[in-house]
Structure 1
Amino acid sequence: MKVMTKKAALSGLSLLGAAVLLAACSAAPEDSGETGDAAPDFQPCMVSDAGGFDDKSFNQSGFEGATAAADELGVELTAVQSDAETDYAPNITNLVDQGCDLIVTVGFALSAATIEAAVANPDINFVIIDDAADGDFDGATDAENIKPLLFDTAQAAFLAGYAAAAYSQTGVVGTFGGMNFPTVSIFMDGFAQGVEYHNAEKGTDVKVLGWDRAAQDGEFTGGFEANDTARQKAQALIDQNVDVLLPVGGPIYQSAAAAIRDAGREIAMIGVDADFTVTDPSVADLMLTSILKGIAVGTEEAVLAAGNGEFDNSPFIGTLENEGVGIAPFHDFESKVPEGLQGEIDDLMAAIIAGDVQVESYLAAN
């Protein structure tokens, strides 16, 4: 596999996260031993956002999926890591110039650059993770050669919010994000809905800080780096007595974890995209649960299809029903959560799938 960075002719790295959600729009790909006529000459490529391929989150998950597909196809993945927003368009152009047949772009921040490149290069297929590639907001993807991979994480975040409200002893939970993009705020809004549902069902009064459902706005760092700004955002919420914290935005959870460890009291954290207990064991003791996306398998299926000459531009939307989103086990917190909570979560999941409990999001079926 060829991995490049912008500065040294463009590079990144990844480790295999064993507990990335094992489902997407259909069953996991089977190794048939046949890759189709297109595979030997097929060049898959990938561009990260500024979080990098080792973010323990959605860049890493997408990288793992693309790598698995390339290995199965018997070809080499070229992966370009972006260090800043200004790298996105040049990195995609670099891959176009290298003759890539499929370019996977990771994240909503690359949407404009992906659309521009796709329109200019109709003979190259694109897959974009976490964005609809709908720059004109008409409800349709802006180019026929782009396949969006989308995830209705509000459903899974709803479950995490319910669990957070059940676990909280202070009656205050909090969240903050990198930037107020729909694919970030969907976690925060679903989380708040889950807390509200617990309050209504159990007669509790758990408060959510960091997100205002009415205003659809909240606390954001302005980026997706693990830095002092992210730590300050986490600290501000900790100072308001939160005992469950949901940071949404790749590496910013690392800053939140540092603030929690300095707090001197028990504060749980909720991960996003991947099961942080598995992908980053250094924070396992802090993890109440994680809100999961099936990014790895969804990406693997899309790359395999393209490599076999079967590219499909129809958007994939992950839900609880198709197991494209989910919630991780309580792991180390299993003995700390209220007795019977896992059963309540299971029942609530079934009710959401059945449509008996409605979770609002921009991806929810009408």
Structure 2
Amino acid sequence: MKVTTRKAALGGLAMFGAAALLAGCAQAPEDNGGDGGGEALDYLPCMVSDAGGFDDKSFNQLGFEGLVKAADELGVEYNEVESAAETDYASNLTNLVDQGCNTIVTVGFLLAPAALESAEANPDLEYISIDDTVDTDFDGTTDAPNIKPIIFDTAQAAFLAGYLSAGTSQTGVVGTFGGINIPTVAIFMDGFAQGVEYYNEENGTAVKVLGWDRANQDGSFTGGFEANDTARQIAQGLIDQNVDVLLPVGGPIYQSAAAAIRDSGREIALLGVDADVYETDPSVGDLLLTSIRKGIDVGTYNAIIEAGNGEFDPTPFVGTLENEGVSLAPFHDWEDRVPAELADKLTELQDAIVAGDIVVESYLAE
């Protein structure tokens, strides 16, 4: 377990896009106690990672970047606690409570039970839950009034990635695998499969999806979120079945997939998730067709800015294509290999999803 307290500084963190990326979240005020002067805020925002750690080049890193940017703008210090295993979650949250944190951000679906227990025990503190609604009784509402969920209907963006993958595949076989079969992982895989199915329906093709069975809502999973030999073997098994587009969903497991792709000696496109992996990990940039992005960094930033200025709002935020909370990253090095008509079609499909003319199924869909 690693715990640090520091004055926020952007340093080498990736720069943010427009602060308005997540429509519906409050914008940063012009005078918020930052470097522009005024009385310093008596406010301590904190964050606990899941077992992937803050250097996962994915959703933990994005959440951390949002924390750092918000703390820097507010002119306050922040605390971070990095979990090495799931067994650390409850004790890490207790650690942050004991250190006087005002707002605690929990990163990841698996942290939700510990977050709820901590929130119920500390009703005067504010909690921000990334990737889970913290609805353990499944009644459609968050279980504690002091928790703000930041969640993402990534099936919508994954649908576009599936359509794109089917349109660029030369073998007619694409594949996906995940870390653990939990909703925030499966939603990518299911949206991806729906996009491939739609491509087949529109074009009279039969592109296959390996690694995910929509009917049974199950597929290929590593059992964790580590870049290890298990992840590499699963990726290799899909490659051996002739896939030429591969979507690994689960933080660092994409690194194992990239290693398997390089070992194959074939041209196989890699899809990133959460962040634009081309930017967070340039070492795999040449393999990336695109990434399915979630605006975790900006969502975290906006929620902490609100809380730091006494405007904490527990209303859940759901990122969609319409509010740009989810999106596809640029094609980067693959730009010349994506036909213009296919790129134009993706824009058309996005517009149709936003308009409700195409319904992408997911547990977050209305």
TM-score with structure 2 setting the length = 0.94
2:75 match: 74
AA aligned to 1:155 is Q
Q: Equivalents in 2 of 1:27, 1:221: separation in Å?
A: 35
Q: Gaps spanning 5+ residues in structure 2: where?
A: none
Cα distance between partner residues in 2 of 1:73 and 1:250: 29
Letter in 2 for 1:238: I
Q: Is the 8 A contact 2:28 2:302 kept in 1?
A: no
Task: Check whether the contact 1:28–1:297 (CA below 8 A) recurs between aligned residues.
Answer: no
- Structure 2 SS opposite 1:256: helix
Number of residues of Structure 1 aligned to a counterpart in Structure 2: 359
Indicate the larger mover: 313-322 or 131-140: 131-140
Distance 1:212 1:14, change over 3 A: farther
Residue equivalent to 2:27 = 29
Contact in 2 for aligned 1:171/1:242 (Cα 8 Å): yes
Structure 1 counterpart of 2:222, one-letter code: T
Determine whether 1:335 maps to 2:336. Answer: yes
Q: 1:15 to 1:215 in 2, by over 3 A?
A: farther
Q: Does 1:298 align with 2:299?
A: yes
How far has the Cα of 1:139 moved from its partner? 1.2
Q: Cα distance, 1:26 vs. partner?
A: 3.6
Alignment check: 8 A CA contact 1:14 1:64 kept: no
Letter in 2 for 1:147: K
Mapped pair 1:17 → 2:14: yes
Query: Structure 2: how far apart are the matches of 1:338 and 1:286?
Result: 17
Report what 2:354 is aligned to.
353
1:273 Cα deviation (Å)? 0.6
Structure 1 unaligned residues grouped into runs of 5+: 1-5
User: Hey, what's the Cα distance between the residues in 1 that align with 2:140 and 2:314?
Assistant: 14
1:1-366 pair list within 5 angstroms: 6=1, 15-18=12-15, 23-26=21-24, 29-30=27-28, 32-35=30-33, 40-365=41-366
| Residues 118 and 201 of structure 1: CA distance in aligned 2, closer, same or farther (over 3 Å) | same
| 2-structure distance, mates of 1:264, 1:181 | 32
Deviations 1:14-67 (A, max 9, x none): 952346686113478345123499961101000000111111110000100111
Distance 1:193 1:38, change over 3 A: farther
How far does the alpha carbon of each residue in 1:54-109 deviate from its partner, in whole angstroms, 9 at most, with x for none? 11110000100111110111001111111111111110010011111000000001
- RMSD across aligned positions (CA): 2.0
What letter corresponds to residue 329 of structure 1 in structure 2? P
Change (3 A) 1:40 1:339: closer
CA distance in 2, matches of 1:340, 1:330: 14
Deviation at 1:140, TM superposition (A): 1.0
Distance 2:309 2:28 in 1: 13
SS of the aligned residue for 2:336 comes to: coil
In 1, are the aligned partners of 2:3 and 2:81 still within 8 Å (CA)?
no
Amino acid at match of 2:260: A
> Which digits, 9 at most, give the CA deviation of each residue in 1:173-212, with x for residues without a partner?
0000000110100000000000000000011110000000
Contact map agreement 2:5 2:77 (CA 8 A) in 1: no
Following TM superposition, by how much is the alpha carbon of 1:171 offset from its aligned partner in structure 2, in angstroms?
Answer: 0.4
1:32 partner letter: E
The C-alpha deviation readout for 1:273-324, integer Å capped at 9, x for no partner, is 1111111111110000000111111100100111001100000000000111
- Decide whether the 8 Å contact of 2:59 with 2:296 is kept in 1: yes
- CA distance in 1 between partners of 2:63 and 2:17 (Å): 10
- Greater displacement, 125-134 / 22-31: 22-31
Amino acid at match of 1:200: E
Q: Is the 1:275–1:290 contact (alpha carbons within 8 Å) kept by the matching residues of 2?
A: yes
Distance, in Å, in 2 between the alignment partners of 1:150 and 1:272 is 14
- Matched with 1:3 is none
2:321, 2:292 → 1: CA distance?
Answer: 11
What per-residue deviation string (whole Å, max 9, x for no partner) do you get for residues 213-235 of structure 1?
00011111010011111111111
- Residue deviations 1:238-272, cap 9 Å, x none? 11110000000000000110010001111000000
Q: CA deviation at 1:338?
A: 2.6
Which letter maps to 1:25?
A: A
Partners of 1:183 and 1:9 lie apart in 2 by 27
> Are the structure 2 counterparts of residues 19 and 332 from structure 1 closer, same or farther at C-alpha, using a change threshold of 3 Å?
farther
- Kindly provide the amino acid, as one letter, of the partner of residue 94 in structure 2: T
Query: Quick one: structure 1 residues 322 and 9, their matched pair in 2 at CA, closer, same or farther if it must change by over 3 Å?
Result: closer
**SS at structure 2 position matched to 1:285:** helix
Give 3-state SS (helix, strand or coil) of 1:208's partner: strand
One-letter amino acid matched to 2:192: F
